[in-house]
Amino acid sequence: MKLPKIMISTIAAVKPTFFIGFSFALLSCLTANAQFSDLNLGAGLMNQSIGKFQDSSDGSKSKFNHRLTLEAGLEYDLNSDFFLAGDFGALWPGGADEDYISKKVFYFNFHAGYSLSEEFDLRLGTGMTLTTISGDGGTTELQNGVGTTSFIIPDQSTTARNITFNIAGLYHFHPEYSVKLELLVFNLINSRNRTFNYALTARYHFGDSLWKD
């Protein structure tokens, strides 16, 4: 079944900031009677745009573009099985290999989670990735596969906002420590522009010890 054109236009016109506001509103409603259960910090590696980075002049593409990622997360228990989780993360460095461009990447993820067991959690949700690129202006020569082409260097800061669909699994190998493997899908319904990030992080869990006696 095809969506009416007016509906497609309406969906395309919705700004990413709507999804942030909606996520916060949903989180507030669902956690009105929930229990704030955990604060956690994590560090690991994120691979950006799997298979999309050209790494040589012959057009071959790299499947590995790892960056250090740092995360802070909160969790709310809805009951003994289900919970809500939110993460804020940043990549360092942001991802620009060139000296003439500065790139910063931040992301916010909101997940609904299910405890499969005492050790394993499954998480599904959405997120927003903010990518800011800035430069000093001018041009530079870059390989185009058969030679070089002049490319313009930005002379001001620009920020791209992308909504992601996320799925993650978390393994608690100790009451205070865990590892999380997460897949982030960009442009979920656009097969031509769809890309994937994955991240592997180790996390330390404070639990509820910071606000309970």
104 token code pair = 């910063």
Answer yes or no: are the C-beta atoms of 164 and 129 closer than 8 Å: yes
Domains of the chain: 5-207 (2.40.160.20)
Q: Which of 52, 90, 49 lies closest to 69, judged by CA?
A: 90
CA 206 to chain centre: 23
Terminal-residue alpha carbon distance, the chain: 56
Read off the pLDDT of each residue in 182-189 and give the average, rounded to a whole number: 92
Q: Which of 201, 133, 129, 132 lies closest to 166, judged by CA?
A: 129
pLDDT digits (tens, 9 = 90+) for 55-110: 554 555 555 667 899 999 999 898 889 999 999 999 987 555 566 677 889 999 99
pLDDT digits (tens, 9 = 90+) for 12-70: 444 555 555 555 555 555 545 557 789 999 999 998 877 665 555 455 555 566 789 99
